[in-house]
């Protein structure tokens, strides 16, 4: 039997044919998922076992010795306990080396963690970032500077970053002009796929065809390829 998920399983997808009008978008992303050209992102851990701020520069130095194998760096882990600014030296070094920058924020911690990632790390994308919707100031900044959010609806519901698909703040973010992209986060843990996320975004999240098209375009524009 498959291992149980650490949080509630996602709902069943809509029946076949229910979302036929979105097939071009779904087919586009299925094509992109199977594309040969990919980028590898180094993920620094805020704190996990022996990892944390003190290990960020050594981790990065190891990566920089393998020039060309990595395209960007990311930051994940305990947002509330280990603020993004603690990792600024590693991000400064990565930027100097030509790496692109993303960081998880605004999921387990509030909108201030998004500000932290933008101001101190100068992140070009934000992992999740959904709690930016609680404050119009970071939303305005994200929209003005084209900083994309890597939103994963099912994951956000499972981790309680959003109360439900229907109450997910993705629509608020889009209405404020924030470039939102749709993602799976960890597809195996969440039991989802990108086409499924698009279907759920419409059937459970109330997103329109225009919303889905905008998110697909944001994904292409924000890619690190």
Active-site option among 79, 107, 124, 150? 107
Run of H or E including 207: none
Q: What is the dihedral of CA 38, 75, 184, 166, to 10 degrees?
A: -150
Give just the sign of the alpha carbon dihedral 28, 30, 36, 42.
Answer: positive
**209 — phi, psi (to 5°)?**
-60, -40
Burial of 60 (0-12, 13-18, 19+ CB in 10 A): buried
Give the other-Cβ count within 10 Å of 70's Cβ: 18
Annotated catalytic residue 107:
yes
In the block, tokens 């990108």 appear at: 194
The four Cα atoms 17, 19, 23, 28 give a dihedral, to 10 degrees, of -130
Instruction: Check if the beta carbon of residue 114 is closer than 8 Å to that of residue 145.
Output: no
Q: Are strands 100-105 and 72-76 parallel, antiparallel or unpaired?
A: parallel
Question: Known catalytic residues?
Answer: 107
């Amino acid at each position: 039997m498959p291992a149980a998920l650490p949080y509630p399983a996602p709902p069943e997808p809509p029946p076949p044919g229910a979302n036929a009008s979105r097939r071009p978008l779904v087919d586009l992303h299925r094509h992109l998922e199977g594309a040969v050209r990919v980028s590898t992102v180094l993920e620094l851990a805020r704190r996990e076992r022996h990892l944390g701020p003190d290990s960020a520069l050594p981790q990065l130095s190891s990566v920089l010795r393998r020039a060309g194998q990595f395209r960007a760096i990311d930051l994940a882990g305990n947002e509330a306990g280990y603020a993004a600014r603690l990792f600024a030296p590693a991000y400064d070094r990565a930027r100097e080396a030509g790496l692109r920058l993303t960081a998880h924020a605004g999921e387990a911690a509030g909108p201030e963690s998004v500000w932290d990632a933008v101001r101190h790390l100068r992140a070009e994308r934000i992992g999740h970032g959904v709690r930016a919707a609680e404050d119009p100031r970071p939303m305005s900044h994200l929209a003005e500077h084209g900083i994309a959010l890597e939103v994963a609806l099912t994951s956000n519901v499972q981790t309680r970053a959003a109360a439900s698909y229907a109450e997910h703040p993705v629509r608020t973010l889009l209405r404020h002009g924030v470039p939102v992209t749709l993602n799976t986060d960890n597809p195996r843990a969440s039991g989802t796929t990108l086409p499924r996320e698009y279907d759920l975004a419409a059937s459970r999240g109330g997103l329109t065809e225009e919303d889905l098209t905008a998110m697909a375009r944001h994904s292409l524009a924000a890619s690190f390829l």
